[in-house]
Structure 1
Amino acid sequence: MSRKVYQPAEMNGAFAAARNAGNLDELLSLYEDDAQLLVDASGVALTGKAAIAAELQKLIKLPGTMVSNNTFCVAHGDLALLRADFTLSDGKGIVFYSGFTAEIIRKQADGSWRYVIDHAGASRYGAG
């Protein structure tokens, strides 16, 4: 199944929903074919859906529920710059993993938006 986002500010919520559903295909549908994903400060980018899939599978396997809230969304033409803060928490509301993202998304021919660059940074809390 493909998940489509038609408002840039809804991208992070859509990502969290697909992650919480454990749906790798939906997560990947949010990325352009040659998108880049950076997951740490090393500057190493994973390019393309196959490389991104392996990393997103790790995220899906983490326990808990993800919530992702935009800090800002700045759209200009067919591009948008996003920043969000996210958490993973257990059923009692205890946060055991949190972080932030910086993203560039692009409007597609059908009016939906997809990630071009997704840079996530995280800090682990607790025993999770």
Structure 2
Amino acid sequence: MNLPTRAQDAHASLAAAFNTGDVNTVLNMYDFTGIIVPEPGKPVSGREQFEAAIKAILAIKGKMEIKTVYCLQTGNVAVGRSEWNITDGDEVKVQSKGIEVMKQQPDGTWKIVIDHAFGALEQIV
């Protein structure tokens, strides 16, 4: 399991785990007390819902690419903005622009506390 030791590496670590089908690492990239938004407008929290959301994303066959637009860190908290997609050959299965909040763990690794996979596309009112 290769969890990132720098906040700016979280996106690359997540894509690498997805692309190798490493469910354990993908799950361990998240703090289950946080929030994940696997579909626009549908935030979930808690281990069971995180696992269901992550397994649904992993069920999309293809290659995930995540570009880090920026990663801003202060102390043990960071916010990242990503542009990501899952493609199968020339077919784009899903693409979006996300916002992620990450927190450094006591062991020095970083976990995602909030993953709004569509956060840079949506307007929250």
- Shorter-chain TM range is 0.7 to 0.9
Aligned equivalent of 1:80: 78
> Structure 2 matches for 1:34-113, cutoff 5 A?
34-42=33-41, 44-91=42-89, 93-113=90-110
1:120 equivalent in alignment to 2:117: yes
CA distance in 1, matches of 2:57, 2:94: 11
Aligned counterparts of 1:13 and 1:101: Cα–Cα separation in 2: 14
Shift of 1:49: 2.2
- Kindly provide the amino acid, as one letter, of the partner of residue 102 in structure 2: I
Shift of 1:96: 3.2
Q: TM-score, normalised by structure 1?
A: 0.85
- Specify the SS of the correspondent of 1:121: coil
Cα shift readout 1:88-127 (whole Å, capped 9, x = no counterpart): 1123x443321121010001111111011111129xxxxx
Q: Where in structure 2 are the equivalents of 1:13-28 lying within 5 Å?
A: 13-28=12-27
Aligned equivalents of 2:50, 2:34: Cα separation in 1: 8
- Structure 1 outlier segments of 4+, above 4 Å: none
The Cα RMSD (Å) is 1.6
| Partner SS for 2:48 | helix
Corresponding residue of 2:122: none
TM-score (norm 2): 0.86
- In the TM superposition, what is the alpha-carbon distance from 1:66 to its structure 2 partner? 0.5
Please list, as runs of the form range in 1=range in 2, the aligned pairs for 1:2-21 lying within 5 A after superposition: 2-21=1-20
Are the equivalent residues in 1 in contact too, given 2:100–2:115 (CA < 8 A)? yes
Looking at structure 2, the residues matched to 83 and 94 of structure 1 have their Cα atoms a distance apart, in angstroms, of 24
5+ residue gaps, structure 2, are: 120-125
Decide whether the 8 Å contact of 2:32 with 2:50 is kept in 1.
no
Equivalent in the alignment of 2:32 = 33
